[in-house]
Amino acid sequence: MEKDLWQMIDEADAQNYGNLATHLKQDMEKSVQATVDKSPEPVRRDIGKASDTLYEKMDQFSQAEQEYAPSPETWLEYEPKHEVIKENLQNLQIVQEKTSSEQDIMTASDKTVDSFQQASIFLQTEYEKLVERERQVQREMEQIKHIIERMQEQTKGSSPENLRDLMAKGKTFISDTENLRESIHWQKPVIAAALWKEAREQVKQVYTGIQEMPDKIKTAVRDKAYSMMDQAIQKTSSIFDKGIQYLQSKKEEVLNLSPLEKRRQAVEKEQQEKLQTAEQQQSAVQRINEPEKGRTVASVQDKVSDNESNIKKPRKVLLRIESKGNVRSQEHERERSL
């Protein structure tokens, strides 16, 4: 199922359609036009009305996806109905070409209209489900915010540290969920749908887990059972914390399953391997050049040593000459003194 859906979406992208709904709608418009061009007036009227209703339902559902979250599985379920309509349209064309019987033509037309109506009913039902799901999430998110506010008011006498932890984690869970909702619009429909489905379910679990906490805290405050109040606060913080971690783990899991993400990781891995290979080659070249460099240095040192020897030899001769001159000068001085 997932493979087929990805194939459909990638095909729509390859043909530069804005989304799968647009692709399916344009495909249907071509089939309808090819059929009604040669149809009698009653057929054009009935098929035209039925197809317009279907287009309206397709646009309505597509708009809801843009406003809330994609639902590619709906289009996958719709596709067989789409194919049935196209088959009925083709059959209607054949009947119109082979017979002039008005009854046969209208029978084929009625069958086609019925398939249009079935598809329209399906999309209308799915639209209502989608809207209700999203409204339910919105209600639960608002309730979670309200619960946090109530707990903050009711727990003024509790541990400030526990209360700060509760507020911080509650706000983090809400912001993470809202940010996820915004970010899914940049993802492929399958990825966006999977991520938001996980988020919806987690919002429901968090809401269910904390909805009774304000009443428990109210009872604890009334009975001055402050330890129970702190326990309720800590439990609520723990529920938020688990929700935060769950959303993050599911986000990573779903993105890792994405073909787009896999391709990105493959490109990144290839680049890293090329970089490592280049570094290894450079290191090997350096190791090869090091002995040559050593020999070159040794040769230079030998030459320097020879030059130093050549320079020192005249110095020794000069010293011997200077020594002989000093001896003669000393002998001459002794003779004069005598």
> Under a CB-based contact definition with an 8 Å cutoff, are residues 170 and 235 in contact?
no
pLDDT category, 17, cuts 50, 70, 90?
very low
Average pLDDT over residues 153-172: 80
Q: How far apart are CA 7 and CA 69, in angstroms?
A: 20
> Under a CB-based contact definition with an 8 Å cutoff, are residues 184 and 248 in contact?
no
Sign of CA dihedral 239, 241, 247, 249: negative
Q: How far apart are CA 143 and CA 60, in angstroms?
A: 28
99: which 2 tokens? 């017979």
Torsion (CA) 122, 7, 23, 47 in degrees, nearest 10: -50
> Under a CB-based contact definition with an 8 Å cutoff, are residues 40 and 52 in contact?
no
Alpha carbon distance, N-terminus to C-terminus of the chain: 130
pLDDT higher for 50 or 305? Answer: 50
Residue 283, judged by CB atoms within 10 A of its CB (0-12, 13-18, 19+), counts as: exposed
Average pLDDT over residues 218-243: 85
How far is the CA of 274 from the CAs of 30, 285, 288, in angstroms?
Answer: 49, 17, 21
Residue 32 pLDDT > 80: yes
Average pLDDT over residues 20-45: 88
Most confident segment among 5-14, 15-24, 249-258: 249-258
Tell the residue number behind the tokens 């090819």, with chain if given: 34
Q: How far apart are CA 204 and CA 296, in angstroms?
A: 76
Average pLDDT over residues 284-313: 56
103: which 2 tokens? 């009854």
Tell the residue number behind the tokens 């799901």, with chain if given: 133
DSSP state of 338: -
70: which 2 tokens? 């994609």
pLDDT category, 303, cuts 50, 70, 90?
low
| Per-residue pLDDT at 216 | 85
Annotate 196-248 with DSSP letters as a single string. HHHHHHHHHHHHHHHTTHHHHHHHHHHTT-HHHHHHHHHHHHHHHHHHHHHHH
| Per-residue pLDDT at 15 | 43
How far is the CA of 144 from the CAs of 132, 167, 203, 327, 337, in angstroms?
Answer: 18, 12, 9, 113, 123
Residue 274, judged by CB atoms within 10 A of its CB (0-12, 13-18, 19+), counts as: exposed
224: which 2 tokens? 């001055």
Select from 218, 220, 212, 219 the least CA-distant residue to 236.
212
pLDDT digits (tens, 9 = 90+) for 66-122: 888 888 889 889 999 999 999 999 999 999 988 878 899 999 999 999 999 999 999
Q: How far apart are CA 125 and CA 146, in angstroms?
A: 32
| Percentage of the chain lying above the pLDDT 70 cut | 74
